[in-house]
Amino acid sequence: MNTLQTINDVPVLICADEGDAIGSEQDALDLIGDAGYQGARWVVIPAGRFDEAFFQLRTRVAGDILQKFVNYRVGVVVLGDISRHTAASSTLRDFVRECNRGRQTWFLADVEELGERLKG
């Protein structure tokens, strides 16, 4: 079950730790629709909810999913430890670093880090 929370005056849809794997553009659109319905500007998805292909950039799954969030102007946070994925791929490490420099897609360790980001 997804829950709406307000973090530093920003409405954020927090996805449950348990649930179907997120691995397609349709999964992203479903979350974007839920966010829109609830008035959220950001969607927070636990890293464990993503299909393994998401973390293998050559599959283009991450790009396809994240592009949907960009198109609909909804921020997305991949929340949690993805170190086993970044340790295995310098390309993914670089991608995460670039995303975290922007204002649309963040890979963050925890909700506290998200709160810090949303202060500005």
For the segment 60-103, what is each residue's pLDDT rounded down to a tens digit?
999 999 999 999 999 999 999 999 999 999 999 999 999 999 99
Instruction: Report how far Cα 60 is from the mean position of its chain's Cα atoms.
Output: 15
Q: Which residue has the tokens 């396809």?
A: 64
Q: Return the pLDDT at 1.
A: 87
Instruction: Report d(CA 37, CA 21) in Å as an integer.
Output: 21
What is the value of pTM for the model shown? 0.96
Kindly give the pairing relationship between strand 10-14 and strand 3-7: antiparallel
User: Which contiguous run of DSSP H or E holds residue 76?
Assistant: strand 75-79
Cβ atoms 108, 7 nearer than 8 A: no
| 39 within 8 A of 4, measured Cβ to Cβ | yes
Residue 120 has pLDDT above 90, yes or no: no
The domain 3-114 is classified under which CATH number: 3.40.50, 3.30.750, 2.20.25, 1.10.10? 3.30.750
Q: Which residue has tokens 């349709």?
A: 26
Who contacts 111 (Cβ-Cβ below 8 Å, separation ≥6)? Answer: 7, 14, 44, 79
**Hey, where are the domains in the chain?**
3-114
Tens of pLDDT along 3-55? 999 999 999 999 999 999 999 999 999 999 999 999 999 999 999 999 999 99
Query: How far apart are the two ends of the chain, measured CA to CA in Å?
Result: 28
